[in-house]
Structure 1
């Protein structure tokens, strides 16, 4: 009877992908991984550093085991661990993901010197005064006047948007992109609700709110956006 393969090595253009079985014991897995990497090393000619992606399926490993696997792979010549990918999400990760996908609704005025920060989307019913700052991991929606600083997509989400009933910010920021309020718009100019987003040229654009229907079709989670 053919022995079950707990470790499968696959070469790609980017490097090596290691598929590790998630049903065997961790010790069995470690032993076979060491043997196969040693055998694979003997068959390979001397070459430049190769990146390794490790896929562990539905297996949970703690930080100590994660470092142990990395060290085992690094001991082999010319191998560098790029990432270890698991389908299992820890409670802490699940809570973080949940928080980042929640809409937090707050009714207040953010005054000068104050900072309001949420991990997910922010729905602010009130104004952001000059000198006030709002920061969100996701989108920012302001039912009021934005005259201070707004930073959406704070964790690197470039698809995040900022919307306000009155868009007169001192500074707009989406992910790592920064922009001040457009000079072409005068304070006494009457405007409808507007939004800010990053365009294909990686510039922050301020436009009518209606453009988001085409630009961000997956923005809503209710009707029309599942």
Structure 2
């Protein structure tokens, strides 16, 4: 019986060749057909001058090791230059990062005394919070400046939220329903960026370098790196 379905389809474009990989067959069958086409068939398009190749895996997830297997087979042809390996599938970590990043609102002005900034989701402030100013949001608070005023994260009750600042010298911090007044740890001394979070129901403070350990999901946010 003749096989009608191809696990690997090669198409030429103005930018080079595109290898489309079937998402339903086994990986062994896929690699076997890819190797067969690279070594024995399609000689007219797989020989000659250097040509750019894009691999499109569609709804198939390729691990880094599997991606390397595909690339190694293609590199048997010295004229094939692998431009990229694309997939319509994203990892759980990527999906979580995209979800977090989409919720971040950026505010670029200093929050002055008597001013209140409210936001639903996460808030990134590119500026300072002066004494008497207040940041109030349902998500996390990130201040890339001095936090001298007040900040309330997780104002609707989310105890997993954090408050981070380049310079942490607040008049008051609040996460969900837990309030913390200034601590001796928050002096008027320039330090590395810190963040406050709830630990066993009490406010704790750590260097931002430990964010990935305390809140792994938040540690994936590229804007904090």
Give the TM-score of the pair, scaled to structure 1.
Answer: 0.51
Q: Which residue of 2 aligns with 1:21?
A: none
Tell me, yes or no, if the aligned pair for 2:123 and 2:139 is still in contact at 8 Å: yes
1:221 deviates by 5.6
1:174 equivalent in alignment to 2:199: no
Instruction: Give the 3 Å change call, closer, same or farther, for CA 185–162 of structure 1 in structure 2.
Output: closer
Q: Which residue of 2 aligns with 1:136?
A: 137
Distance in 1, Cα, partners of 2:172 & 2:154: 14
1:211 deviates by 1.6
* Cα-Cα RMSD: 2.1
Q: Secondary structure at the match of 2:161?
A: coil
1:182 deviates by 1.0
Tell me, yes or no, if the aligned pair for 2:116 and 2:133 is still in contact at 8 Å: yes
Q: Which residue of 1 aligns with 2:206?
A: 207
1:184 deviates by 3.9
Q: Which residue of 2 aligns with 1:165?
A: 166
Moved over 4 A (4+): 220-223
Q: Which residue of 2 aligns with 1:30?
A: none
Q: Which residue of 2 aligns with 1:191?
A: 191
Q: Deviations over 1:27-59 (max 9, x none)?
A: xxxxxxxxxxxxxxxxxxxxxxxxxxxxxxxxx
Q: Deviations over 1:103-149 (max 9, x none)?
A: 10010010000000100000000000000000110000001100000
Instruction: Give the 3 Å change call, closer, same or farther, for CA 166–184 of structure 1 in structure 2.
Output: closer
Instruction: Give the 3 Å change call, closer, same or farther, for CA 158–209 of structure 1 in structure 2.
Output: same
Instruction: Give the 3 Å change call, closer, same or farther, for CA 148–213 of structure 1 in structure 2.
Output: same
Instruction: Give the 3 Å change call, closer, same or farther, for CA 113–184 of structure 1 in structure 2.
Output: same
Q: Which residue of 1 aligns with 2:216?
A: 217
Q: Secondary structure at the match of 1:212?
A: helix
Give the TM-score of the pair, scaled to structure 2.
Answer: 0.52
The structure whose Rg is larger is 2
Instruction: Give the 3 Å change call, closer, same or farther, for CA 190–140 of structure 1 in structure 2.
Output: same
Distance in 1, Cα, partners of 2:210 & 2:103: 23
